[in-house]
Amino acid sequence: MRIAFYAPLKAPDAPTPSGDRRMARLLMAALRAGGHEVCLASRLRSRDGAGDPGQQARIAARGRRHADRFCACCESGKIAAPELWFTYHLYYKAPDHIGPRVAERLGIPYVVAEASNAPKRAGGPWADSHRRVVDALGRADLVVGFNSRDKTCLQPVLKPDSAYLDLKPFVDGLPYPPRPAGSALRSELGVAERDPVLLAVGMMRPGAKTASYKLLAGALSMISTERRWALAIAGDGPARAEVEQAFRGLGGRVRFLGAIGPERLTALYLGADILVWPAINEAYGMALLEAQAAGLPVVAGDAGGVPDIVTDGDTGLLSPEGDTAGFAANLDRLLRDPEQVSRMGAAARAQANRWHSLESAAARLDTALRKLERRGSAVS
């Protein structure tokens, strides 16, 4: 099937790394692994983070022009018309102005993945963008959800015959290599052999990411000084100075590694002992999934779709979102029990390999899309 792919928040080939860009690329790879031909239909970024109705109207107008040009190219034979439109990640700050218009004009199924409906935005500065999200969801033939907590708000605005697919977030390259027996990472970081290496992975930008870093610093300051640990932080961004300031009181136990490439990041996962991330306002957290695939137990906040990835008490420990004391208690529990760290790490790896591979996601997506194809053939 020829699939037109679009990500209104951030194009899959955008220069700045992020979890959103990573999942867009993974979805395209999963669709191709299912035997589909996938093209990037547009790079238009529809995000308005300021709540400016005028800016939203201008973006919407550009979206309509993009849609009309795309359809004209298909109808003239300049490009091969898609048989399905697939939009990844639309919400009130980044609605889809292109996909519904193209799907209706070309008479093809419209599919969305990782959508959210925020009824509280029905009024206020994002009201028009919220309405456009609801309209798009009301036209969707299939909705793919990664976050089980989104489903309750999504279902009331879907059309009666819309299909819904619960799809677990996934990564490629599974299974990861075995964890090394030596202590190369400790030597590289200058960490004592007996000190557990904690790892935090996240961009340093204002808002939820910085709030997560600050909560982590606060939680670590609550751990007994007798407890041994070292923290490696992989990430960079405009809020780095603010993040570094938050950890200043913890001295030489914290190493800032800056921005890390994929291969180096995998080596960090394989060499560390525990992934720590408060996950404030996190959709689900790709780093949490990647870490578990490498055999790391996770200490995280119970936010968004995190419980869809981290099984509390089995592959990691979750505390209420924003609860510094609860996060510290969970981390202290693992620091006191290396055997539990080992058990949870093994369970995390097994769970990732079983439920979160690109291959399993490709098979489930393909099955859902083929059903739409057969349904369309029956109607025509």
d(CA 246, CA 265): 23
* Residue 152 CA to its chain's centroid (Å): 19
**Each residue of 141-181: pLDDT tens digit?**
999 999 888 999 999 999 999 999 999 999 999 999 999 88
**What percent helix, strand, coil does the chain show, rounded to 5?**
50, 15, 35
Residue 247 and residue 160 in one domain: no
Q: Same domain for 351 and 366? A: no
For residues 293 and 174, the answer to whether their CB atoms sit within 8 Å is yes
- Claim to verify: residue 117 and residue 135 sit in the same structural domain: yes
Alpha-carbon distance of 182 to 193, in angstroms, equals 10
Our count of domains for the chain comes to 2
Tens of pLDDT, residues 311-340: 999 999 999 999 999 999 999 999 999 999
CB atoms within 10 A of CB 329: 16
pLDDT digits (tens, 9 = 90+) for 85-131: 999 999 999 999 999 999 999 999 999 999 999 999 999 999 999 99
205 half-sphere exposure, CB direction, 13 A CA radius: 7
Looking at the structure, tell me whether residues 351 and 361 fall in a common domain: no
Average pLDDT, the chain: 95
Asked if the model's pLDDT at residue 378 lies above 60, the reply is: no
Same structural domain, 375 and 291: no
Is it the case that residue 231 has pLDDT exceeding 90? Answer: yes
Do residue 156 and residue 142 come from a single domain? yes
Residue 203 sits in the same domain as residue 347: yes
What is the average per-residue pLDDT within 261-281? 95
Q: Is residue 224 part of a domain?
A: yes
Q: Does 149 lie in the same domain as 93?
A: yes
| Confidence (pLDDT) at 376 | 60
CATH code of 13's domain: 3.40.50.2000
Identify whether 213 is part of a domain.
yes
> Does the residue 175 lie in any domain?
no
- Residue of 114, 59, 60, 49 whose CA lies nearest to 88: 114
- Inside any domain, residue 345: yes
What is the DSSP code string of 216-248?
HHHHHHHS-TTS--EEEEE---TTHHHHHHHTG
Q: Are 64 and 129 part of one and the same domain?
A: yes
Residues 250 and 374 in one domain: no
pTM, to two decimals = 0.90
Q: Are residues 344 and 247 in the same domain?
A: yes
Are the C-beta atoms of 299 and 212 separated by less than 8 Å?
Answer: no
80 lies in which domain range? 2-170+357-379
Are residues 86 and 203 both part of a single domain? no
Q: Is residue 177 part of a domain?
A: no
Q: Is the pLDDT of residue 196 over 90?
A: yes
Residue at 179 is within a domain: no
In a domain, 47, yes or no: yes
Per-residue pLDDT, 181? 80
